[in-house]
């Protein structure tokens, strides 16, 4: 009986080993195929084709979902498609799989910004700024500036934008945000100087010129304001911001100073 029992145990053990090896091999195959679909999806993301990218990334997720890079890609894709609520779930999954995934944390904070959930965004970005190995700390610092700007806590917004610019002095996003913050604080000359620097270092961007035009108007530099408003219309004809620029041009022209 002992011989039969031992034989049964050996057979069961061999079967278990074979089963585990087979499962491991199958998992590796699924992971490899999933990576192929993920890479294909990333290619479509690079082309700006987020619908096709999503299709390929979802195929990858069906094969192997515990891929932090894949979950981050899904989050980015859903953000591009205007679905920050779904994106948040995927960014959280990416961070759960890889707790030190700082880029995914920054993306999560950006998704909270899109939801206007300023406090949760601030929590994310502050955690990132503590990561001394993060290669682009000016991004979360600038995002902190944006969150505090929207909370109307302008002194803190100014601080974080300036911290971002200490790292990357020509970072246009921070320059633009700081210029808008200065307008809100009534520091119009500072706004003009900051936004002029942003325009100098940026590709032609209608909202940036619109804010510069507003700063010129508030600084009573009306001729420069008219020129900047016209630039907005040139860059984005027939758009809502161009319509606003046309209204501002009319206001400036009707002012007693220019008549």
What integer pLDDT is reported at residue 255 of this predicted model? 75
- The answer to whether residue 129 sits within a structural domain is no
- The answer to whether residue 234 sits within a structural domain is no
Q: pLDDT per residue over 179-205, tens digit each? A: 999 999 999 999 999 999 999 999 999
d(CA 160, CA 128): 13
Q: pLDDT per residue over 36-68, tens digit each? A: 989 999 999 999 999 999 999 999 999 999 999
Could you tell me if 71 and 86 are in contact, meaning their C-beta atoms sit under 8 angstroms apart?
no
Q: Cβ–Cβ contacts within 10 Å for residue 224, how many?
A: 17
Give the residue carrying structure tokens 């619109």.
210
- The answer to whether residue 8 sits within a structural domain is yes
| Domain of residue 105, residue span | 1-124
- The answer to whether residue 239 sits within a structural domain is no
Helices assigned H by DSSP within the chain: 2-46, 50-63, 68-80, 84-97, 102-114, 118-129, 138-150, 154-167, 172-185, 188-201, 206-218, 222-235, 240-254
State yes or no: pLDDT of 164 exceeds 90: yes
What integer pLDDT is reported at residue 22 of this predicted model? 52
- The answer to whether residue 193 sits within a structural domain is no
Q: pLDDT per residue over 224-251, tens digit each? A: 999 999 999 999 999 999 999 999 999 9
Q: Measuring CA to CA, which residue among 193, 198, 241 is closest to residue 219?
A: 193
CATH code, domain with 40: 1.25.40.10
pLDDT mean over 124-145: 93
- The answer to whether residue 91 sits within a structural domain is yes
For residue 26, what pLDDT band results from cuts at 50, 70 and 90? confident
What rounded mean pLDDT belongs to the chain?
Answer: 90
Q: Which of 1-5, 26-30, 75-79 has the highest mean pLDDT?
A: 75-79
- The answer to whether residue 231 sits within a structural domain is no
- The answer to whether residue 206 sits within a structural domain is no
How many separate domains does the chain show? Answer: 1
């Amino acid at each position: 009986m002992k011989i039969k029992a031992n034989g049964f145990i050996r057979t069961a053990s061999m079967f278990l080993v074979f089963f585990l090896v087979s499962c491991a091999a199958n998992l590796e195959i699924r992971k490899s195929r999933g990576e192929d679909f993920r890479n294909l999806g990333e290619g479509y993301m690079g082309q700006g084709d987020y619908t096709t990218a999503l299709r390929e990334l979802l195929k990858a997720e069906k094969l192997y979902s515990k891929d932090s890079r894949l979950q981050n890609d899904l989050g980015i894709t859903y953000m591009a498609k205007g679905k920050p609520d779904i994106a948040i779930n995927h960014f959280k999954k990416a961070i759960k799989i890889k707790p030190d995934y700082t880029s995914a944390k920054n993306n999560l904070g950006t998704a909270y910004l899109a939801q206007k959930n300023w406090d949760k965004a601030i929590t994310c970005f502050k955690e990132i700024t503590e990561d001394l190995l993060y290669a682009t700390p000016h991004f979360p610092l600038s995002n902190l500036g944006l969150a505090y700007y929207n909370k109307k806590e302008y002194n803190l917004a100014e601080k974080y934008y300036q911290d971002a610019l200490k790292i990357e002095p020509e970072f246009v996003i921070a320059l633009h945000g700081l210029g808008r913050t200065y307008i809100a604080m009534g520091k119009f000359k500072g706004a003009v100087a900051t936004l002029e620097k942003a325009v100098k270092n940026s590709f032609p961007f209608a909202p940036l010129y619109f804010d510069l035009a507003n700063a010129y108007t508030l600084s009573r530099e009306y001729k420069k304001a008219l020129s900047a408003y016209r630039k907005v219309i040139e860059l984005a004809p027939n758009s809502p911001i161009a319509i606003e620029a046309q209204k501002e041009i009319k206001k400036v022209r009707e002012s007693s100073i220019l008549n």
